[in-house]
A and B are shown apart, each in its own frame.
Chain A
Amino acid sequence: MLSERVVITDKAKEIVDKLKEQHGDLMFHQSGGCCDGSSPMCFSVNDFILGSRDVLLGEIHGCSFYMSGDQFEYWKHTHLTIDVVPGRGMSFSLEIPLGVRFLTKSRLFTDEELKNLRPVEPARAD
């Protein structure tokens, strides 16, 4: 079995379920930069246009998880856990009106995981 690059906590899954009822299929895009940067953004699948240099890290609770390719170069040695905490963000991420914010928690991959990591795929086929 492949080692996953990104996983999601049960608490965060509950929020994803709630949002799916309201917005349909969802996706995540990991942000960078200031303010809400370094936080994962959750959007309806049709809202955010993926670029040819975005990469797909894996699926979490039925949602694809993407990051821009250049950012991934600095993140690739770390395992990501998508959690949720009470809070606010000023971005357009869908969970914000619920008074919670998705949060990316990171740790280094273990040697065991590194041997068998899920390959990263381009976000778009073109």
Chain B
Amino acid sequence: MLYEKPKFESQYENYIGGKWVPPVSGDYFEDASPVDGSVTTLIPKSGAKDIDAAIAAAEKAAGAWGKTSVAERSSILNKIADRIEANLQMIAPIETWGNGKGIRESLLADLPLVIDHFRYFASVIRSEAGDVSDLDANTVSMEVHEPLGVVGLIVPWNFPLLMATWKLAPALAAGNCVVLKPAEQTPTSILVVMKLIEDLLPPGVLNIVNGFGPEAGKPLASHPGIKKVAFTGETTTGRLIMQYASENLIPITLELGGKSPNIFFESVMQEDDNFLDKALEGFTMFALNQGEVCTCPSRALIQESIYEKFMERAIKRVEQIKVGNPLDTDTMMGAQASNDQYEKVKSYLKLGKEEGAEVLTGGDVATVDEHPDGYYIQPTVFKGNNKMRIFQEEIFGPVVSVTTFKDEAEAMEIANDTLYGLGSGVWSRDVHQVNTFSRGIEAGRVWVNCYHLYPANASFGGYKKSGFGRETHKMMLDNYRHTKNVLMSFDKNPMGFF
């Protein structure tokens, strides 16, 4: 089924204090679609003054919002989820047009997860309890939670709505007011959803300021009114955000990507059954979202004894990937999100060949007849070794680098020979082997006999240079609030010290 190109307003504004307001400068930038390179709409090119206004609006709302009952906040989050669910068919093509992903992913993955993550945080805050300790007959210690106040969320472009939700749902659930900056490549879907849900939130609780990193992101991350920053992106900006946070002495959480190993042990080929079919699909998962996933299984480690047979079938599977018009539900892989991303992926295809990696399939740009100016890349499989740069850097494209290992020791060494530690996959029919690797891999997520599942209540976050903080789990609530200890004495008598 072919979805129609979605309709957009000719210009969007910032959302501050419950109102749609133009940027102070009056400047806008063009938002182009990666599907066909055409300009979709105009987006505010905001600066420090817009951030100041948003933070002031959030501070004004923070007192009352922080004191709402959990029942009320939970109800609002559920209503947001219901509203998005009721409009899923309208939002999905907007997400696809803005980001380039295949519409089947917007329909079946991104949006259902957005809805569910709002519902998850709506539910977990209802059943929470603080700790109470009876320290002695007359002394009680209570650990109570209080919101931080105003938090800054800087979200990426690969899953514009879902990544915003991962941060927004716990931040609001914990009772904070938010200033959110969407990525400048993909601002529109968030603004469309904000229009849908604006009647559900009190003014100032959620503020959206659009703009470029150096002009709007930096003033947000360094603002003394912000009590916490959450960022998903890359390492240099991660360091800058930590640096700004050090000036204000505030906490941050960072998710900075990875170079995730996907390990296939020989037992996967013991039988030609559904499980082998699942493992082959697991290999092909590098193409999900055009490879623009922080946990993209971009390094495949295949046991030597099955390499030839496994890869013969894996390549066939990859070659069945249908690259095409992202609005067509038959399309499996759409467009890279932006021109610079497209150019970067191309530069790595060239470097991989230069480094001596063998191209097993793909290796070039793809063309989609209907959209000759879109940013399409062929699903690409390289064979090489783990010291090559294509094995060490996040290409953020549909590119997997394959290497072999002899035994468990070598597999573990290669898997952990990376600066990052976000995702990983282990495929084996041997339960002992699975245990060795799920505990031995230095990464925040180990998928065992599966890949690319992101359910709520399974924590997500990095080891090593992939960052810190755990999203998609109730433990993230503690990253969005203070713990206050109330120590109560019921003893009438003085201590006797003075």
| Chain A stretch 74-117: residues in CB contact (< 8 A) with chain B | 74-75, 78, 85-94, 96-97, 99, 101, 103-108
Q: Are B213 and A31 in contact (CB under 8 A)?
A: no
Sorting the interface of chain B by its residue count into under 10, 10 to 19, 20 to 34 or 35 or more gives 35 or more
Q: Are B214 and A34 in contact (CB under 8 A)?
A: no
Within the complex, the shortest CB–CB distance from B33 to chain A, in Å, comes to 12
Q: Which of chain A's residues have a CB closer than 8 A to the CB of B419?
A: 32, 70-71, 74
Chain A residue with the shortest CB-CB distance to B294: A34
Q: Are A92 and B240 in contact (CB under 8 A)?
A: yes
Given contacts A87-B339, A90-B184, A92-B214, contact A33 B256 (CB under 8 A): yes
Does residue A64 face the partner (Cβ distance < 8 Å to B)? no
Within the complex, the shortest CB–CB distance from A95 to chain B, in Å, comes to 9
Q: Are B394 and A38 in contact (CB under 8 A)?
A: yes
Within the complex, the shortest CB–CB distance from A37 to chain B, in Å, comes to 4
Within the complex, the shortest CB–CB distance from B179 to chain A, in Å, comes to 16
Q: Are A68 and B235 in contact (CB under 8 A)?
A: yes
Does residue B385 face the partner (Cβ distance < 8 Å to A)? no
Does residue A126 face the partner (Cβ distance < 8 Å to B)? no
Q: Which of chain B's residues have a CB closer than 8 A to the CB of A106?
A: 347, 351, 389
Does residue B355 face the partner (Cβ distance < 8 Å to A)? yes
Q: Which of chain B's residues have a CB closer than 8 A to the CB of A92?
A: 213-214, 217-218, 237, 240
Q: Which of chain A's residues have a CB closer than 8 A to the CB of B183?
A: 35, 90
Q: Which of chain B's residues have a CB closer than 8 A to the CB of A43?
A: 240
Within the complex, the shortest CB–CB distance from B232 to chain A, in Å, comes to 7
Q: Are B256 and A34 in contact (CB under 8 A)?
A: yes
Q: Are A33 and B214 in contact (CB under 8 A)?
A: no
Q: Which of chain B's residues have a CB closer than 8 A to the CB of A90?
A: 154, 156-157, 183-185, 213, 217, 233
What's the Cα separation between A72 and B34 when bound, in Å?
Answer: 32
Over the window 196-221 of chain B, the binary record of Cβ atoms lying under 8 Å from chain A Cβ atoms (1 yes, 0 no) is 00000000000000001111011000
Over the window 298-334 of chain B, the binary record of Cβ atoms lying under 8 Å from chain A Cβ atoms (1 yes, 0 no) is 0000000000000000000000000000000000000
Chain B residue with the shortest CB-CB distance to A44: B214
Chain B residue with the shortest CB-CB distance to A100: B340
Q: Are B45 and A97 in contact (CB under 8 A)?
A: yes
Partner of A107, one of B237, B354, B465: B354
Chain B positions within 8 Å of A, measured between CB atoms, are 29, 45, 154, 156-158, 183-185, 212-215, 217-218, 232-240, 243, 255-258, 294, 338-341, 343-344, 347-348, 350-351, 354-355, 387, 389, 392-396, 419-420, 465-466
The 8 closest A-B pairs by CB, nearest first: A34-B257, A87-B340, A37-B234, A33-B257, A31-B236, A101-B340, A33-B234, A33-B256
